[in-house]
Amino acid sequence: MIQSLENIDKIFFIGIAGAGMSAIAQYLQGIGKDISGSDRFFNEGRAKSIKEKLEEEGISCYLQNGNGITPDIDLVVASTAIEDTVIEIRKAKELNIPIIKRSELLALIANNKKAIAIGGTSGKSTTTAMLFEIMSHAGLSPSIMGGAGLINLIKKGKIGNAFVGNSDWLIIEADESDGSIVQYHPEIGLLLNIEKDHKELDELTELFKIFRENSRQFIVNQSNEKSAVLSTNKANDFGLEENDGGAGYVASGFHQEGFHISFEINKQHFELNIAGRHNMENALAAVAAASLAGVPLQVAADALRSYEGIYRRNQVLGNKNGVWVVDDYAHNPVKCAAAIRSCQYSGDKVVAWLQPHGYTPTKFLRQDFVKEISEALRPQDEIWMSEIFYAGGTTTKDISANDLIKDIKANGKNAFFVKDRNQLLNKIRPHLSNGTVLLLMGARDPSLESFSKKLFEDL
């Protein structure tokens, strides 16, 4: 087991185009390591933008064919999706090069820094970005490794999900989906919520209990029933006014106008150019963590006024022919419902589209998708789906997105299936009118950004 990166210089990432992998790769390149990597998307001619931006940072990118694995490599990092049959794993073993998982490497980095680890089923990327914005504005110069690109960093030509600051503060997402959250020992552990997603609730709760025990200071969401029971100090916690559980940081007075929200936290006024009550909750969580790190509420409020958001999280592409188009990474039931509700303030009608990802998770969450989306839709709203995104590997294709659509339709909601997403605009166009918000949702598929932008251009 590798205990330190001190004597490790050349590191190779298998699956470097992934959000979590590219963030660590950029961070390590930024602190002086010699980083290279490969991805099967490069073999397919996809993820070109990510490849170009990595190369601009000085990171060498290879096709996933084994050519990047050479005897001078000190360490190979593999994402959880990489199977042992991949040629680079086999070659690294032949050369006796140590191999570790992405989660192990992130834990190794974080446990040697003053880390703030953000966990929970929903909202991690947004809260991570908001906290980075606040602490940067406060002059604390934190580093960040997140799951999505910050718009203000993307504007500078970067992927935007990593930044190397000048202090020991490091803000990271703590992932529960692969169980790696138990490996972190942060200065501050932040738990946003516990909802059924990749795992059953009981299993998730056990993981978050370990996360709590490993955290020097711990913050939970008192408005989330499952997370509230893990509180260690209510004075550090956060909650919404209608169900704050005695939390030390309470948000109230939510108001949304278009894609702009305002509210108060402990009588301090906040405004953000973003939509949705769930984003008030994300901001509240970030403010609670920042406060524990020594940032006053007024400074946090000033910082969030200029928050520009993150890649594909309630990202407004624009308005064309009276139709607002919003691109969102929402992919689990709770996130999809929250995204739909956030758009209802901005239009007379919401037409939402979802491309589910993964046959196994879609089957696991089928009833939850049907329940959450059905409850979120107003009588005039619609949900559309295209077929489940298949990322490769071994799986049983024993469910279709159309099965979810049929279930939602049986609940009396407006639900439609378009198997090929390239046919979506032609099919959906008659359903769009002045005052409609077209919400595009999905994750994991790197082509979703270009798909959404092209649909907006062709609208």
Q: What angle do CA 348, 314, 330 make, to 5 degrees?
A: 100
In this prediction, residue 90 carries a pLDDT of: 94
The span from the CA of 97 to the CA of 325, in Å, is: 47
In this prediction, residue 204 carries a pLDDT of: 83
In this prediction, residue 26 carries a pLDDT of: 96
* pLDDT < 70 stretches in the chain: 1, 177-179, 196-199, 393-394
In this prediction, residue 1 carries a pLDDT of: 66
Q: How does pLDDT run across 196-206, given as a tens digit for each residue?
A: 665 677 788 88
**Backbone phi, then psi, for 182, in 5-degree steps?**
-75, -10
In this prediction, residue 147 carries a pLDDT of: 84
Distance from the Cα of residue 433 to its chain's centroid: 31
Q: Are 285 and 190 in contact (CB under 8 A)?
A: yes
Place of tokens 């339709």: 409
Q: How does pLDDT run across 92-110, given as a tens digit for each residue?
A: 999 999 999 988 899 899 9
In this prediction, residue 286 carries a pLDDT of: 98
Sign, CA torsion 240/241/244/248: positive
The span from the CA of 202 to the CA of 375, in Å, is: 24
Which is it for strands 323-328 and 315-320: parallel, antiparallel or unpaired? antiparallel
Sign, CA torsion 214/218/223/225: positive
In this prediction, residue 198 carries a pLDDT of: 57
